[in-house]
Chain A
Amino acid sequence: MKKGSLKIQETIMVMFVFIVIFFLVMIIFYRFTINSIKEEERNYKLERFNLMIEIIPNMPEFKCSELGKEIDCVDVLKLLGFKNLNNEYYNEMFKDKTIYFEEIYPEENGQECVSNYFNCGKFIIADNAEAGLRVSGPVVLYYANEDEYKIGKVVIQEEK
């Protein structure tokens, strides 16, 4: 073999090794990037889910209001009204969620409220998730007929 062709072969070998190493690094970088994007997506979904303890009680469908002015509480009469509303839009919105409001103070009563709020303390808005992510947070429940506030909590579950 001539000296020139030997040099070319050596250069090709070096280039080959270099390219292999370069691709290995690229693959590792790609995997890191994909994993970090997936992690970001998981964090985003978790954040969005956790923020539902703020979003759900502030929906106009549930939030107290007086002459169009919003007040920081959840209107129990609206909860009862919503419960009996079978709307396709809300069914789709809460299709993979279980959402309920529960009275915890002054009394705790796990009995579900269906058509009125006497002798009960649990208002189920949606019941479509058996297990999965779960978050709960305190809310103020307003009983308009008695003009009375009680402490409650909203519990939200979502299928994974």
Chain B
Amino acid sequence: MLNMVKKARGFWLKIVIIFSVLGPGIIAGSANNDAGGISTYSFAGSKFGYTLLWVLVINFFTLASTQQIGVRLGVFTGKGLASLIRERFGVRWTLLAVFTLLVANLAVCTSEFAGLAASLELFNISKWIAIPSFAVIVWLILYKGSFKKIERMFLFISALFLVYVVAAVMAKPDWGEVASASITPFLYSDKAFFLAFLGVMGTTITPWGQFFIQSYVVDKGISIKNYIIEKWEVIFSAFFTCFIAAMIIVTTKNVLFDNGVVVDSAEKAAMSLVPFLGRFAETIFGFGFFAASLLGAFILPLTTSYCVCEALGFEHGVNTKLKDAPVFYGLMALMILIAAAFVLTPIFSLFQIMIFAQVVNGMLLPIILVFLIILFNGGKQLGLPAQSKISSFLYNLIIWAVIACLTVVSVLLVLLTLFPNLIETMIWWR
């Protein structure tokens, strides 16, 4: 009897530990399923149906691998990715990594502001009012350092997008078709397809998420003791992230693609939820879109500035004062300013900004992944325990394959943009 009580307590203790560790993976994952993510998946599903589903399977394996490596590096070295790159590769390479991160994150930050504007337009609030006022609010809250408290809100936001799971089931898809599309690689030489491909990859696996997970592990001081739990949390979160993404594609394929509607605005993206939520679709979608964008708009300037200052050695941290850490606060302000200004420029639609931001991320991701895999392979010098040959081989296989794939598609996309008739020319040559 006593033994059973003890066992039960052990069980509850474990649950408590899992919940206290639960966080970094799911926060990073659901931050990736932000407004830009929803838009990209909706666009991919409504334009190309199920043909991009297989990419999400690849995404799952990649995300699980890269995030696990991040956790591993963080737990065993106690240093952030930016720090490791600086100490291992020196100033020049650090500048490359930092610049890459800065551009990618600036793109995502812009996409978050575009998401804010798009969601508020659903409620008939003009972006000319929304963007300037939210730029000021975001800056003030970051400046006061009171953001950390609301970080965990990401958990609730990610729960909100569970509506897509129900919506997907209600759309009564042919699940056999879904399953076979998930394991059938499909590429098709079209600029829009390449854009969607890079977008879907770039929104799930981000340079941002990679720096974030490691910093989180380091800052929260997750111990070696909890490493195994954290490893599983990351795998679970990667699955959850990709599962939601797949459900969005399934929903939009059945509701929109089959009816010939291609998503090019938040309004049309919200339409995919009409069969499930009826006339509340737009409101609920708008609310989720708004909340996700707002959280992203906080977290991106903050984490970017944090990583850049960490790598370059400027004073940083939410406990510092403006006078002591001018670069830290200045960079945040600059990012917010550029993002807000870009959203207000009338050249691109809000929706285009959101999708292009993910494409930029996808194109820049290989650079960060190369740093990551080199650090991982040189783990012994950093004091990491030995890794079994099989898992080391698998990590290398997955990550190098993704690096190659993203690079090739990026190059093709650039070539196709510069020379629209490339494919025909190549066929003609033959």
Indicate whether A and B interact. no
